[in-house]
Structure 1
Amino acid sequence: MAARIITVAQQKGGAGKTTLAAHLAVAWARRKMSVALVDIDPQRSLAAWHALRREAHPNGADLHLSDVAGWRLGTELDRLRGRFDMVVVDTPPHAETEARAAVRAGDMVLLPVQPSPMDLWATRPTVDMAEKEKTTALIVLNRMPPRGRLQEAMLEKLLEEGLPVAHTRLGNRVAFAASMMEGKGVVEHQPRSTAASEINALATEVIATLKGRDKRR
């Protein structure tokens, strides 16, 4: 079966795109799925994490990194689709040409949204881009506080606007960053942690959402 291409996109920088991409990739790899990473963000944070991973854990869950961007991106994604189960694309902020190409090629666009008005305001244009390209979009509430009404207020606002929101929410947990500092995903670094449970739940939800979409077609 051809790979599922998961494009992680958000017009606002600092929303947690790279962290989300890395942890989901490891979660799927731990399920014996073949996974490729594509980093088209000029900051190259996902590529840097992948290099650390290869150096520190050469026998860990294997993740392929593709270093192709620009006009060759579409061809590369087509090639990876035939070789892997999952392809995870980390995109630059703003609606740049490469980000649009990755959204167009994707089976799903994941949009991490932090609990801030700026993240909320930046979400609609990215969802609109996905809809224009006929790509399934799913918003992931990210770095949510452990208590208080903020996350419920965020959820209410998103649902009022008719935006697609994942059931799984990711908390503001040190384990996400700590595991990446070790070149790992949180499901490897702290497999019994709440953070690992959240990532595993989101990995399952993404696959289930895609399967549900396929049945409706």
Structure 2
Amino acid sequence: MAARIITVAQQKGGAGKTTLAAQLAVTWARRKNSVAIVDIDPQRSLAAWHAWRAAHYPDGVALHLSDVAGWRLGTELDRLRHRFDIVIVDTPPHAETDARAAVRAGDMLLLPIQPSPMDLWATQPTVHMAETENTAALIVMNRMPPRGKLPDILLERLLEEGLPIAHTKMGNRVAYAASMMEGKGVVEYQPSSTAAREIGALATEVLATLKGREKRR
């Protein structure tokens, strides 16, 4: 079976794309999936994390890295498609051409959004891009504070616009960054933590959403 290709994109920088991509990759790999990560962001943050992981946590689950320029993405995905179960593409912000190519190639777009008006305003164009390319989109509410009205306001605005929202919400938890500093995913770093349960639930939801879409085709 060909790999499921999952693109992580958001026009606004700093929304947590790379952390989400890395955390999902480790979670799926721990569940016995073969996983490749593709970094087309010129900042190369995902590639840097992967290198740190290889140097400081070599006994972790295997993740294949493809560190390529955006214009080579199609060729690289063709190479990976029949070698892995899941391929995750981390895209650059503010790069219409590269992001669009990644969204077009993907089976699903994951779009992290933080509780801020800037994130909200940047979301609609990316969802529209997915619709244009006939790619399923799923908004992930990310770095949500434990209390306060802002997350509820954000959710209400997203629902008003009819945007597709993941049931799983990611908290603003130190464990995600701390695990990345160790070259790990949080399911390796603190496997019994709330953060590990969150990313595990999101990993399950994403694949279930993809399977549901495949059955409807």
3-state SS of paired residue (1:37):
strand
- What is the CA-CA distance between 1:70 and the residue it aligns to? 3.4
CA distance in 2, matches of 1:9, 1:110: 6
TM-score where L is the length of structure 2 = 0.98
- What is the CA-CA distance between 1:69 and the residue it aligns to? 2.0
3-state SS of paired residue (2:172):
coil
Q: Which residue of structure 2 lines up, in the alignment, with residue 83 of structure 1? A: 83
3-state SS of paired residue (2:211):
helix
- What is the CA-CA distance between 1:72 and the residue it aligns to? 1.9
CA distance in 2, matches of 1:128, 1:66: 27
3-state SS of paired residue (1:38):
strand
2:36 pairs with 1:36: yes
Q: Which residue of structure 1 lines up, in the alignment, with residue 195 of structure 2? A: 195
CA distance in 2, matches of 1:198, 1:71: 34
The amino acid that maps onto 1:174 is: V
CA distance in 2, matches of 1:29, 1:175: 19
Moved more, 141-150 or 172-181: 141-150
Aligned residues: 217
Q: Which residue of structure 1 lines up, in the alignment, with residue 50 of structure 2? A: 50
The amino acid that maps onto 2:73 is: L
CA offset digits 1:90-113 (Å, max 9, x no partner): 000024211111100000000000
Q: Which residue of structure 1 lines up, in the alignment, with residue 125 of structure 2? A: 125
Q: Which residue of structure 1 lines up, in the alignment, with residue 153 of structure 2? A: 153
- What is the CA-CA distance between 1:216 and the residue it aligns to? 1.0
- What is the CA-CA distance between 1:71 and the residue it aligns to? 2.6
CA distance in 2, matches of 1:71, 1:94: 15
- What is the CA-CA distance between 1:176 and the residue it aligns to? 0.4
TM-score where L is the length of structure 1 = 0.98
CA offset digits 1:143-169 (Å, max 9, x no partner): 000012221111110010000000000
CA distance in 1, matches of 2:95, 2:119: 15
The amino acid that maps onto 1:102 is: A
CA distance in 1, matches of 2:26, 2:60: 10
3-state SS of paired residue (1:139):
strand
CA distance in 1, matches of 2:96, 2:150: 31
CA offset digits 1:49-82 (Å, max 9, x no partner): 0000000111210000012223321011111111
2:63 pairs with 1:63: yes
CA distance in 2, matches of 1:72, 1:119: 28
Q: Which residue of structure 1 lines up, in the alignment, with residue 142 of structure 2? A: 142
CA distance in 1, matches of 2:94, 2:203: 25
